[in-house]
Amino acid sequence: MISRRDFLQAAVAASAIWGADGVGRWSRLAAQQALSQDKLLEFDTLGNVTLIHITDSHGQLVPDWFREPETNLGVGADKGLPPHVTGADFLKLYNLKPGSPEAYALTYLDFDALAKGYGKMGGFDRIATVVKAIRAARPEALLLDGGDTWHGSYTVLKTQGQDMVNAMGALKPDAMTSHWEFTLGIDRVKEIVKGLGFPFLGANIFDATWDEPAYDPYKIFERGGVQIAVIGQAFPYLPVANPKGMFPDLSFGIREDRIAQMVQEVRGKGADLVVLLSHNGFDVDRKLAGRVAGIDVILTGHTHDALPEPVMVGKTMLIASGSNGKFITRLDLDVQGKEIKAFRHKLIPIFSDVIAPDAEMAKLVAAQRAPYEKEMAEVIGHTGGLLYRRGNFNGTWDDLICNAMIEEREADIALSPGFRWGPSVIAGQPITREDLYNATAMTYPNCYRSEMTGAQLKAILEDVADNLFNPDPYYQQGGDMVRVGGMGYAIDVTKKQGERLSNMTLLKTGAPVDPAKTYVVAGWASVNQGTEGPPIWEVVESWLKRKGTVTIEPNHSVAVTAG
């Protein structure tokens, strides 16, 4: 593992030796405080290979706001390393100016104010403009999609992912991998994959009955005279994080030995460059890079990290391209003698007010949305403060959802899953039905109401905390900490499983949560089959319409010790 100091030194060394100029370019942009499409797309073509990476789009066809996390803790060997650097520390690490376009795009600092100045980001019509511009400069560029594409919006839910399949199909990617795609159900996934037109890769996806590969593990492309092997790695913990009944005959897992085997296999077939198109999450991929030799580039996804420079682990380059359509990565490589001799990297921010929409994609997106525009545009409430989701422990979107569940379902305590997806809503803005679905649209939305003892609650929270803060990345199963409404607690992330949580307190009375006492608990997105209750969006919409305007105050109910 590399330390933060090593990272800084490696970044400087890579810039000097390999020709990477990301930090300098971003710093110049920050100093100039000037944005234009030409400047955003400016790139000095290098070498003989270009990779374009997009990941974790989560159904966001049109521009949106997405606030980056304030708290993103690393544990064990990853403590203090990117991407576990936020806010002012992030700006210092990458030499970015506060208030700059890059500070707005990459951190939470002054987000509400800067959002009003710099506007929304993303939008597939703008993404298409960028992709076409890169392909014009490098026609043989490979476009690779890291997954979490057919999920996360009103139109995805209504079309069973077809809107995103159509939009991504128009971009003409060369391959993709997956995670939330499987929550459409295995029959729907099979139907889509059959007509996809490009590889749906998953070296780690096996038939659970016969223990045989269920999908193609890799695809070898010849581009610029270079044999490029792209190995797909789906999210390893699908049967744990999502309902297994939706894909009952599949097994996943990190399968480190399988990846090593695939690397050797493609090298044996003449691959000059090996790319892992991964949905493992950043820390899992960092560990994998240190244990599996022969991977040149890992295009990482799942944890929604956006980094303006590659992270080097030995000879392996890790690339993080953000989420929600906010960024596209362009990576140029000079590959000679089966080695990368030089690279040039740029994380391209998709400022929707700066990049001109591509007319063809704009027409397609409008067609996907047209049947649902009236329903999506209906205002169901207003927010007096910023609504956001990302962060290890709290997000105002989930605080709102928890408040709604407590009142609508007459509960003492509410639990909302620590999903990383879901755009933000700026203070003073109306909350539309589309905004609500952007934070809740999924295929198992039932809002349950049940009884749990204090001991059961603690066990649930301890289990989730271990999924997030286990010092071994291979045991981190994704997501942020479950959000809790109506109850406060203290957590020491440095302790071992079963000992992290303490001081569980019922907020409405100030009384300690009694391990033996039973409490009424509301929650949603349970992975258990047969969960009953109304869809979460119906619960929240009913509450918002009663309230009219809501202001979610800062949540100080979780006391965190990070060592």
Average pLDDT over residues 177-189: 98
pLDDT tens by residue, 243-287: 999 999 999 999 999 999 999 999 999 999 999 999 999 999 999
pLDDT tens by residue, 25-38: 444 333 334 689 99
Q: What would the DSSP string read from start to end of 103-160?
A: HHHH--TTHHHHHHHH--B--HHHHHHHHHHHHHH-TTPEEEE-S--S-SSHHHHHHT
pLDDT tens by residue, 101-118: 999 999 999 999 999 999
8: pLDDT strictly greater than 90: no
Of the two residues 227 and 20, the one the predictor is more confident about is 227
When the pLDDT of each residue in the chain is averaged and rounded to a whole number, the result is 93
pLDDT band per the 50, 70, 90 thresholds, residue 5: very low
pLDDT band per the 50, 70, 90 thresholds, residue 563: confident
Average pLDDT over residues 434-439: 98
Average pLDDT over residues 389-396: 92
pLDDT tens by residue, 147-166: 999 999 999 999 999 999 99
Give, in degrees to the nearest 5, the angle at Cα 288 between 14 and 209: 150
pLDDT band per the 50, 70, 90 thresholds, residue 196: very high
Class of domain 4-367: alpha beta
For residues 63 and 123, the answer to whether their CB atoms sit within 8 Å is: yes
d(CA 360, CA 369): 15
Give the rounded distance of the alpha carbon of 522 from its chain centre: 26
Q: Look at residue 425 and give its three-state secondary structure.
A: strand
d(CA 194, CA 179): 17
What's the alpha-carbon Rg for the chain, to the nearest Å?
Answer: 23
* Residue 23: predicted pLDDT: 38
Q: What is the location of CATH 3.90.780.10 in the chain? A: 378-561
* Residue 164: predicted pLDDT: 98
Closest-CA residue to 202 (of 140, 141, 255)? 255
Q: Give yes or no for a cis peptide into 248 (omega within 30° of 0).
A: no
* Residue 29: predicted pLDDT: 39
* Residue 17: predicted pLDDT: 28
The helix or strand, by DSSP H or E, that contains position 545, with its residue range, turns out to be helix 536-547
For residues 423 and 66, the answer to whether their CB atoms sit within 8 Å is: yes
For residues 65 and 120, the answer to whether their CB atoms sit within 8 Å is: yes
pLDDT tens by residue, 483-505: 999 999 999 999 999 999 999 99
Residue 192: C-alpha distances to residues 146, 155, 207, 239, 466 (Å): 17, 16, 18, 21, 35
d(CA 89, CA 72): 12
* Residue 67: predicted pLDDT: 97
* Residue 34: predicted pLDDT: 65
* Residue 479: predicted pLDDT: 79
pLDDT band per the 50, 70, 90 thresholds, residue 523: very high
Say which CATH topology domain 378-561 has.
5'-nucleotidase;  domain 2 (3.90.780)
